[in-house]
Amino acid sequence: MAIHCKSGDDDLGVHFVKYGDPVYSIRFGDNVFIGTYWDCFIQHGPNMEYVLKFRAYTSAPFRKCDQLHLWIAKEDGIYFSEDGKPEEKRFDWTKV
């Protein structure tokens, strides 16, 4: 699986993650003056034929400290969990 995430200030480059690898994580703080966002592009499959581009994070008008946002890639799509709540499916993969 290839993961490429970037914000208005940072481009983390492409990272390759295999099943069983440690969790790929991003730790950051919000820009309180202009806001913060993270966009991610994920590909997987034998020929990287399943793709998804999505906004993984948008800052809120008020600051929340120590939030944990989990995006979980599964065979049928991308799931989201916030601060330990049950995960919910948010996106389906697109085959190209």
Query: What are the pLDDT digits (tens) for 35-85?
Result: 889 999 999 999 999 999 999 998 877 766 677 888 999 999 999 998 889
Q: Which two tokens stand for residue 43?
A: 């590909």
Phi, psi of 61 (to 5 degrees): -60, -25
Phi, psi of 29 (to 5 degrees): -115, 155
pLDDT at 64: 64
Q: Which of 62, 25, 29, 21 is nearest to 40 (CA)?
A: 25
Region 21-40: what's the mean pLDDT?
A: 84
pLDDT at 3: 95
Total count of domains within the chain: 1
Residue 72 is part of which domain span?
2-95
Phi, psi of 46 (to 5 degrees): -55, -35
Say what the pTM is: 0.84
